[in-house]
Amino acid sequence: MALLPGRRPKRRTLVGTLAALALAGSAAAAPTAAADTLGVDEIAKSRNMHHVANIPKPAPFASTSALNSDWAFKGKYAFGGNYEGFTVYDISKPAKPKIVTVVRCPGSQNDVSIAGNLLFLSTDSSRSDDSCQSQPMPASEKSAWEGIKIFDISDVRNPRYVKSVETKCGSHTNTLVPGKRDEVYIYVSSYSPNSAYPDCQPPHDLISIIKVPLKHPQAAKVVAEPVLFPDGGNPGDGRPYPEGTSATTGCHDLTAYPAKNLMAGACMGDGVLFDISDRVKPRIIHSVRDDENFAFWHSATFNNSATKVVFTDELGGGGAATCNAAIGQEKGADAVYDIVGKGDKRRLVFRSYFKIPRANADTENCVAHNGSLIPVKGRDIMVQAWYQGGVSVWDFTDSRRPKEIGWFERGPLSDSELIVGGSWSAYYYNGYIYSNDIQKGMDVLDIRDMRTNPGKRVKLDVLNVQSQPDYFGR
């Protein structure tokens, strides 16, 4: 997803689009639900998908503007981000998850990742200071703060805030990359600079890299700000947003594959393959563009053998109805690329698009969003969130002919106005799918299918989806 209420006016993704739309409580035009779509809050699913649990958003996050966001997992706990903070769930019994604690710490998006006993929280809204009691402040104020907050979660019932690190243009998303010693690197993605913002100046063709000594997190600091696009990246195609291709001014999301020393960057107008052998000097191997069908390169997923990358396009910024016949099946979709060649001669080669085959109502924001692999040896299968398009499980083993094999979906939140909602992130962890629904809270799904059942045997201690594990070794 993209923006947030009260953020920089130039930001052009979800809540930037949404601020005058869903959160204001009315749509730009009077949308109507299509006759063949679900009714308000009606649930539909494939036969192999089982909805085993739901926990509504806890009281501090109950408002429509408190959007649930990303997931991280450690042991028997799931950590769910929200624009107002984060929630810790006990998932030792997936069919009966429980809320352990709620930490209120406003600062969208509150993207989360975990290393050891530390949790990293992204702040991408200008705040009066770095505390959890901060207030919104215009980005034009030099004293405004945004960046990464670090919490000690050794006691999950009482997370302790220990450190903050300010970064240029804030932290829209963060990607954890382990170092060679007792340290991790946090790759901070942010974008859309403005000459009026003292801490977010154009051209901003960089990312921030924070080094965190795990035993001494108070010493965390920015150690590099590599320029990824010395030529400025994609200049955009000049068409009006959201249909036009975005100019590249930073990256929206980075997915590292540390075991392979690779990283895939979804960088607004560019899709990029990086070598991260040197953790503080990411190096571009190859980049691609799709000015015809991709408006905003949003996120990326490798297959387990690192021979493919799935890139998502967040057409409409996550705040528009793009899963319909008018938009079609090639916009607001996934793009499957093969990685061909070896070493520095590796290239990303386009093979196909994938988009959910169900039409959504005009009051449902729907577009490709965050997902993860289901670990099935010899096959490439992933689960993915589509906002109010629901949760989809699809197989891209054949790069040219991807196909959906399971799905879960709710009807719109309203049949008269567009209210942002649906699944932000849907990830597979230790045999179950966990969906962080923006308005409805945590959903736990169980796909029972001979094609995905082998994934139930794979167990992890930690999962940060943007730091992809190698499920089956080299």
Over its length of 474 residues, how does the chain's per-residue pLDDT go in tens digits? 554 333 343 333 444 434 333 333 333 333 344 446 899 999 999 999 999 999 999 999 999 999 999 999 999 999 999 999 999 999 999 999 999 999 999 999 999 999 999 999 999 999 999 999 999 999 999 999 999 999 999 999 999 999 999 999 999 999 999 998 899 999 999 999 999 999 999 999 999 999 999 999 999 999 999 999 999 999 998 887 667 899 999 999 999 999 999 999 999 999 999 999 999 999 999 999 999 999 999 999 999 999 999 999 999 999 999 999 999 999 999 999 999 999 999 999 999 999 999 999 999 999 999 999 999 999 999 999 999 999 999 999 999 999 999 999 999 999 999 999 999 999 999 999 999 999 999 999 999 999 999 999 999 999 999 999 999 986
| Neighbouring C-beta atoms of residue 180, cutoff 10 Å | 6
Contacts with 382 (C-beta within 8 Å, 6 or more apart), sequence order? 301, 310, 371, 372, 373, 374, 393, 394, 396, 428
| Neighbouring C-beta atoms of residue 402, cutoff 10 Å | 21
Give the H/E segment covering residue 16.
Answer: helix 14-18
Amino acid of residue 138? P
Nearest to 317 by CA among 87, 55, 61, 10: 10
Cβ contact 142:110 at 8 Å: no
CATH topology of domain 14-463: Methylamine Dehydrogenase; Chain H (2.130.10)
Nearest to 203 by CA among 238, 168, 174, 170: 168
pTM for the model stands at 0.93
Cis ω on the peptide bond leading into residue 203 (within 30° of 0)?
yes
| Residue 437: strand, helix, or coil | strand
| Domain parsing of the chain, residue ranges | 14-463
How far apart CA 224 and CA 291 sit, in angstroms, is 31
Cβ contact 409:49 at 8 Å: no
Q: Which residues pair with 284 in a beta bridge?
A: 274
Task: Give how far Cα 350 sits from Cα of 235, 271, 336, Å.
Answer: 21, 11, 6
What are the φ/ψ torsions at residue 16 (nearest 5 degrees)?
-60, -45
Region label for 52, one of left (φ > 0), alpha (ψ between -120 and 50) or beta (otherwise): alpha
Place of tokens 């169900």: 358
